[in-house]
Structure 1
Amino acid sequence: MNPPHAQGPYRRGVRFLWRKWPVVLRLALWSVLETGQTFLTGYALARALDDGFLAGHEAVGLWWLGGAGLGVVVAAYGTSRVYRAVADLVEPLRDSLVRQVVGRGLHDADSAAVSRLTQQVEIARDTFAGLIMVSRSFVFTAVGALVGLFSLDPLLLLVVAPPLLAGIALFVATLRPLARRQEEFLVADEELAARLGVVCPGLRDVTAAGAEDDVAADLGRGVAREYRTAAALARWGVLRTASLAIGGQLPLILLLTTAPWLLDNGVTPGALVGALAYVTQALLPALHNLVHGLGASGSRLAIVLRRLMWEGPGSGGGAEAGRAGQGPALELSSVTFAYGPHAEPVLRNLGLSVARGEHLAVVGPSGIGKSTLAGIVAGLLVPDAGEVRVEGAGVRGEGAVGRRVLIPQEAYVFTGTLRENLEYLRAEPVPESELTGAAEAVGLAPLVARLGGLDTELVPGELSAGERQLIALTRAYVAYAPLAILDEATCHLDPVAESRAERAFAARPGGTLVVIAHRISSARRADRVLVMDGVHALCGRHDELMERSPLYRDLNGAGDWGGGRGGDRGGVASDPALALRDPYGVDPVPRPGLPGDRGHVVAHRSVGEMETVGDLGDRSASRGE
């Protein structure tokens, strides 16, 4: 169920253009003037020959040539207006990238922000403008030329169109593979340069330690990898050149070789010359610009945008960090997991890709495998088959803890100050302004004020389940991990507090959020929703799933799915089974003092477990019972 990298640069680019549709429409209308000039390139020449010079009417021929010249003037005016429309598309993109780079630089103390701001943003801006111009020019040039060929004689279109379409199809087929090869080559080159930067200044130490063979072998592997990526890039480049030959040069050869047959079948000499003009003066140059412009610049733009917009914070240095800066934030490939060798798999061949900055909600009936999925993504469970990668690296390798943070249903709060609890996932002291800002964003600020400040000593047993969850959520919020996994971590909060916490995590700069949802409101807030039903998983937007998934429609009707503790292994749900405002007053609200509380009893422990003091927030029976 791997969705295409549609959440990557290409899809986001399409969404950006869709939001700017008035500018795109204006750009298309001005481009129509260029289409008229392209049409006249061959049609006016054919008419000038057939109806003018070859028929002995020089004035008619000159009139048609003059019309073609006038078309060039009109097209030049249209081109000047096109540049204005392109500017109206490009500058908002640049402004958006600048805001993201500056925001992330301030939030994460990103040392590469200056380079991104002064170089990569400008590369993206200029490349995007070039791509718009090249793609627009090819589309309208091709339309004008093909309409002109059909107007001259449909037989000409029959000769030119098939190889042209074949060449375009081959070019489009190479776009994504070639972009991957270019990115792999870039990563390999950066890794080799990083290794050389470490080894060259320390050659004397290498010799003194007798590590020449080991260092040479390590560098040799880097050189070999760069060679392999360069060779793969070259092979795909050959196919791109072939697409240009098929789509641009083969039509010219076919026109020349079939000229006698075309003339015998009613094609006039002027029409044949006009067709040659269309191919040589319009289609071949436009296709050449498209192949070389969109091919190289498009891949470069995709790479630069990924680096600008979706690299997560807190990644380390070296080769592993270089890989972690590429691709999706979370990727599962054919993951299968069962609780025991003879048990039925909870997950079977699950594939999933979550883009950087995306908000994904996971829904499904209790016991279907949602918390199991969260445990696998967090590295707490090892899949029986398949691979899980977070930020491009394994979930159980070196540095994995810094790439993801899991907030479970039963939040852990230890004896100590509130500040110590919030700083637990950070190696260094956290500035108080950052802690108070995080508390305000997540919704912990009222509790901080009620307790008396960040340096208040906590007694975990005196905190309600909702209060413990808010502390754990704020602790995760200030962590550097770019991927946050909320395994029903808001199940003891009321809907308002839950919404505030989830929106705070979704808005973290550079952060990615995966929510195991227990309310339909969580799913509606997400960018995409993963529906798990035990047979297959379906992923899409809320409106798409309402049409495609009967289970998702049923869950929407249920509203609260009660996926409590142990839900994946047959445990008892921790949320009250009754609806909000039920006649017995049992509502999932934390305790007095938090939003949504109406003084009702809160039950959050499984049957058979001892309840801690403070679990019943107001310590009073409901309705005297």
Structure 2
Amino acid sequence: VQAPGGRRRRRVSGFGGPGWGLLFRQLGSTRGALVRLLLWSGAEALPPLLSGLFVSAAVDQGFLAGRPTVGVAWLAGFGVAMGVRAYAARAGFPYLAGVVEPLRDALVERVVRSALARPSADPAEVARLTEQVESARQLTATLLRTLRGVGVTLAAALIGLTLLAPAVLPLVLLPLSAAGVLFVRLLRPMVSRRRAVVLAEERLAADAGRTLHGMRDVQATGTGEEVARALAEAARESAAASRALGRASALRALVVALGGRLPVLAVLAAAPWLLAHEALTVGELLGVATYLLQQLDPAVRTLAGTVGGWLLNLAVVLDRLAAVTAEGDPSGARTGADGRRGAGWAPGAQAVGAEGTAPEAPPPPAGEVRLHGVRYAHGFTAAPVLDGLDAVFRPGEHVAVVGPSGTGKSTLAALLAGLVVPTAGTVTAPPAALLPQEAYVFPGSVRENLVWLAPGSSDARLAEVVELLGAGELVERLGGPHGMLGDPGELSAGESQLIALVRTYLSPASLVVLDEATCHLDAAAEERVERAFAARHGTLVVIAHRISSALRADRVLLLDGGRGVLARHGDLQVLSPLYRELVGHWLGAGLAS
């Protein structure tokens, strides 16, 4: 059992990484909506721009001049400007949706394409990616909505100060510029630390999930203490990353102090001198205070606090989505971690997925399967699941693949079926049908489901295979071949597997790969299915989850440490202590049950 762990340091891309490239490319496709959104944002700048000017005029020309009606009129004008801002905010929302919703759709399509290209991908990982897509949508929408408000407010306040009281600009711009420089300098380390928190949490969740899934292997091999230590180390790493992020985030308070509070204190300290030398009037001083207290300080606090946090989260989410769902090159060959291309499938090797389409012509009845120096990793920086695997399956052979959890059994199944290509080495195999653990059944007639991969099958042939695999009672209960499946979800997992097994048996593929495709059947039904497939033309590869599957096979491929040992069951018991432990565990579990 390989204990959780195996970390690699990742280069931090900050705000110039592939995630931002992904975002900006998509935003570029919605340029029209963005332009209209910015135009309405300009209308929203009216109240921040006029606030200090109108307050100054209301005081100097109205209330201090003994003309309260004029003062009230200036303030009423500011109320009208607020009404314009409210209308502009409402009018801009459709264009905000026109930017954000296409982004969400593009990211969802990217995740789906990535999952379809990696059939061995962990479903939990796909679920996390889907959640991250929704997070990216919400964060982008919130940031656009908030940033345009903050940006408009800051720009309007500075323009208003320039028009109203240029004498105070040095007192405001110097600390505000220092705060801006500090904020920009803090972003990169905070992104790095935020990314470290996300990765540490993901590693901890993945390690815990693999440990739970492989608990039987852990008990069989006696590695419980080692696994517990590894999980504790992952938890400590997660806690340390969170503490480091907290320390970096605390420095944002200094940004608020410099950019929001220090200009106010500087103007207050200079106010007596400015008033005495008639550099400012009382109304202008109140107008400056309005800009600083009502516009500048809240904008800086929002930018350093809320927006800073959202920006960090969005940077990490986008980088994760861009890295995990990296699209392959047009040739279909994936680039390996060492920068080389995997040789992949040999010319002429054609794949047929259990949920795919049948080949145009029937394949030859037999064919050899050859794996030479096969290496495969789930990502460019990930440790390889298979590393230097060599094996040859003879034509018509029945091979069982066994190994502890996480040793690459499902990855090997996908490689044999041609659904993924190795990052190095070659896989040469005849056209294959891969049946995964989760069987796919679609709404329609029973017959349509059963003959999907062999639509030309006769009724007699269909009836023969249904009976051979023990699915006759199920088909009869469903109303026979012409019965309708309105809601496939009403079938049990075992019933769905039986339907998919009949479909796969009927396919013309000369290589069948069953990736725990009988795990929901009882032992007797599983034996009947495996013996039927073993007698079928071509080669059978079974990812075994019971000792009985290994006992029935001609030979057993034991995967461990990225490589494999291929031998008969009895020989493996002599050659491999790990295999003896697995067999002992299986036999013990069988007796206990």
TM-score, normalized by length of structure 2?
0.53
Give the CA deviation at 1:128: 0.9
Pair 1:67 & 2:37 matched:
no
Q: What's 1:192 paired with? A: 204
Q: What's 1:368 paired with? A: none
Contact persistence 1:168–1:243 (CA under 8 A): yes
Contact persistence 2:143–2:307 (CA under 8 A): yes
Query: Identical aligned pairs, as a percentage?
Result: 34
Distance (whole Å) between structure 2 residues aligned to residue 14 and residue 190 of structure 1: 26
Q: What's 1:291 paired with? A: 304
Distance (whole Å) between structure 2 residues aligned to residue 200 and residue 115 of structure 1: 18
Q: What's 2:579 paired with? A: none
Distance (whole Å) between structure 2 residues aligned to residue 129 and residue 204 of structure 1: 45
Pair 1:17 & 2:27 matched:
yes
Give the CA deviation at 1:213: 6.2
Give the CA deviation at 1:33: 1.5
SS in structure 1 at match of 2:280: coil
CA spacing shift, 1:481–1:290, aligned 2, 3 Å: farther
CA spacing shift, 1:29–1:206, aligned 2, 3 Å: closer
CA spacing shift, 1:101–1:238, aligned 2, 3 Å: same
Q: What's 2:342 paired with? A: 406
Alignment of 1:203-602 (within 5 A): 214=226, 217-265=229-277, 266-312=279-325, 356-357=326-327, 390=337, 395=338, 405-407=341-343, 418-419=348-349, 433=356, 455=364, 478=418, 480-481=420-421
Give 2:145's match in structure 1, choosing from 122, 133, 136. Answer: 133
Q: Deviations over 1:309-350 (max 9, x none)?
A: 4415xxxxxxxxxxxxxxxxxxxxxxxxxxxxxxxxxxxxxx
Distance (whole Å) between structure 2 residues aligned to residue 261 and residue 232 of structure 1: 45
Alignment of 1:94-243 (within 5 A): 94-109=104-119, 110=121, 111-112=123-124, 115=127, 119-196=131-208, 214=226, 217-243=229-255
Q: What's 2:59 paired with? A: 49
Give the CA deviation at 1:6: 3.6
Query: Which gives a bigger RCO, structure 1 or 2 (Cα 8 Å, sep 6+)?
Result: 2
Give the CA deviation at 1:456: 9.5
Distance (whole Å) between structure 1 residues aligned to residue 424 and residue 215 of structure 2: 42
CA spacing shift, 1:204–1:103, aligned 2, 3 Å: closer
Q: What's 2:492 paired with? A: none
CA spacing shift, 1:263–1:434, aligned 2, 3 Å: farther
Q: What's 1:611 paired with? A: none
Distance (whole Å) between structure 2 residues aligned to residue 224 and residue 35 of structure 1: 48
Q: Deviations over 1:3-60 (max 9, x none)?
A: 9864512222223223322211111111112211101211111111112111222122
SS in structure 2 at match of 1:406: coil
Distance (whole Å) between structure 2 residues aligned to residue 152 and residue 24 of structure 1: 31
Distance (whole Å) between structure 2 residues aligned to residue 113 and residue 90 of structure 1: 24
Long gaps (5+) in structure 1: 313-355, 362-373, 379-389, 396-402, 424-428, 437-448, 460-474, 486-625
Contact persistence 2:19–2:322 (CA under 8 A): no
SS in structure 1 at match of 2:324: coil
Contact persistence 1:42–1:277 (CA under 8 A): yes
Distance (whole Å) between structure 1 residues aligned to residue 166 and residue 28 of structure 2: 35
Long gaps (5+) in structure 2: 1-10, 369-414, 426-593
Q: Which moved more, 1:26-35 or 1:281-290?
A: 281-290
Aligned AA (2:420) = Y
Aligned AA (2:342) = L
SS in structure 1 at match of 2:342: strand
Distance (whole Å) between structure 1 residues aligned to residue 49 and residue 423 of structure 2: 53
Distance (whole Å) between structure 1 residues aligned to residue 416 and residue 36 of structure 2: 47
Give the CA deviation at 1:78: 0.7
SS in structure 2 at match of 1:357: coil
CA spacing shift, 1:198–1:101, aligned 2, 3 Å: closer
Contact persistence 1:116–1:308 (CA under 8 A): no
Aligned AA (2:89) = T
Q: CA RMSD in A?
A: 4.2
TM-score, normalized by length of structure 1?
0.51
Give the CA deviation at 1:275: 1.2
Contact persistence 1:42–1:148 (CA under 8 A): yes
CA spacing shift, 1:158–1:107, aligned 2, 3 Å: same
Give the CA deviation at 1:136: 0.9
Contact persistence 1:188–1:226 (CA under 8 A): yes
Contact persistence 1:101–1:116 (CA under 8 A): no
Distance (whole Å) between structure 1 residues aligned to residue 129 and residue 228 of structure 2: 37
Give the CA deviation at 1:267: 1.2
Q: Which has the larger radius of gyration?
A: 2
Question: In the comparison of the two structures, how many residue pairs are matched?
Answer: 366
Q: What's 1:381 paired with? A: none
Aligned AA (1:36) = L
